[in-house]
A and B are shown apart, each in its own frame.
Chain A
Amino acid sequence: MLSINRVNTYRIPFTFEYYRPRTLREALELLRSVEEARVIAGGTDLLVDMKFRRAEPKALVDVSKLEELRFVRLAGSYVEIGSAVTLQELVESELVRARLPLLWEAVNSMASWQVRNIATIGGNICNASPAADTAPPLLAYEARLLLTSLDGVREVGIGEFFVGPKRSTIRSDEILQLIRVPLHPTGYGWSFKKISRTSFDIAKISVAVLLKTVEGKIKDPRVAFGAVAPTPVRARSTERAIEGVSLEEALEIGPRFVERDIAPIDDVRSTAWYRREVARAILRDSLRVAYERSLSSG
């Protein structure tokens, strides 16, 4: 598996057409009319794939500067995040920090400052990496994605968006316009944890937990994992197993159910065995943190 990197990453080894539309509508028209066009936002994943020739698009439609995709706003009981908002802008957003603390914690742990300044939340979602760090928090919050094309807008739950490694239900003529995230529910504790080689490396495994406590019992637990299945996943059987139990019981029972919810693989970052073991351990850590936070947030 181990091979010497013989790729010269100084240049992108082929050329392509480049479009920088001024409006979302123009971008959507380009996706329809230009053959084999791909959307590029920050490009921190796509350009790496292109340097290694894992992706060879004939044309790129750059949506990173579209004002229609660059906002973070409170909209009723949701926070709406435009897809071209950078990860660093989310870290700096008081609204995200206060109203979506689980997402904030995940984004704050992602990549380096330099890369957070380029990479976008929409890119992180649309690349559909099983290890995308924004996915577990968005799964736990039950976020919805607005996908736009010339035919109109469709809204999908983030749980239905991912279908396999680097595969999602977005069509090639669609653009992720915004992410609609329900406000952090009152009284819920949260925790995001990930294990990676260095803090800004790709996760070997990540977990997001959201739960509340009623008279010392866990209620409405939401657990989502990254990098332990073909897609980021909600751990539904773990959630059912710890519903209505005390923290001590959850720490005992939860880890036993994790295996039903995940399907880890061996790759360059970890073995499946290691991921299973660590999934149990970080679930325990996260349950404890989320539980304690649920007590202090009243």
Chain B
Amino acid sequence: MRVKLKVNGYWVDVDVEPHETLLNVLRDKLKIRSVKYGCGIGECGSCTVLLDGRPVTSCLVLVAGLDGASVETADYIAKTELGTRIVDALLLEGAIQCGYCTPGFLVTIYAALKSGVIKRGDSEEVAKAISGNICRCTGYVNITKAVRRVVEELASSTS
């Protein structure tokens, strides 16, 4: 069946099978490789993308049901102003080691900052927002610091 999706700002028509997930189609048909396959069962958050503006684990979404939906992925978000800030902060704080989880974190952090789920940037607030993203290298300390850095930058740039 054919499904129309707005992916990273562009409308695309894709031929999909009923059993294909959003993750399958983004990676294999649209060749967007920033979307990572981790656990495949919605626990690790590596495959996080924005679906109609909300972060979801794309491994648990049937693409056949998404006709007309909009999808944004990490590589696109990284080029936005806020996304660039987040990437820079992750680099500066040493919040990336192997990097496999990073695109998922970027998407979640971006959504959380944009929607106000993260406002103050304290560790409790950040921990709740990113609890759906697993990092097996850094232990979250530097990731949390990076988020706080972005929150502080945004506060000082608007004041």
Contacts and interface: CB of A to CB of B under 8 A. Distances in A.
B51 interface: yes
Contacts of B131: 112-113, 198-200
B57 A18 contact: no
A62 B62 contact: yes
A296 interface: no
Interface residues of B, number: 35
Interface of A: 8-12, 14-18, 20, 40, 42-44, 47-48, 51, 60, 62, 64-65, 88, 111-115, 117-118, 198-200
Contacts of B112: 113
B132 A43 contact: no
Interface in B44-69: 45, 48, 51, 54-57, 59-62, 64-65, 67
Contact of A11 (B24, B45, B65): B24
Contact of A12 (B1, B21, B42, B56): B21
A10 B58 CA distance: 11
B40 A10 contact: yes
Given A9-B40, A11-B21, 20 more contacts: A8-B40, A9-B59, A10-B23, A10-B40, A10-B59, A11-B19, A14-B19, A15-B18, A16-B18, A18-B65, A20-B64, A20-B67, A43-B60, A111-B132, A113-B132, A115-B57, A115-B132, A117-B55, A198-B131, A199-B131
A200 B43 CA distance: 9
Nearest to A16: B18
B102 interface: no
A10 B24 contact: yes
A223 B135 CA distance: 37
Contact of B48 (A11, A15, A114): A114
Contacts of B23: 10
Given A9-B59, A62-B65, A65-B65, A114 B18 contact: no
Contact of A47 (B1, B54, B60, B67): B60
A14 B17 CA distance: 11
Nearest to B37: A10
Contact of A44 (B19, B60, B129): B60
18 contacts: A10-B37, A12-B21, A14-B19, A18-B65, A20-B65, A40-B62, A47-B60, A47-B62, A62-B62, A88-B54, A112-B42, A112-B45, A113-B108, A115-B57, A115-B132, A117-B51, A117-B54, A118-B42
Given A40-B62, A44-B42, A62-B62, A113 B21 contact: no
A199 B38 CA distance: 20
Contacts of A48: 41-42, 60
A112 B65 CA distance: 22
Contacts of B129: 113
A15 B21 CA distance: 12
B40 A113 contact: no
A200 B62 CA distance: 22
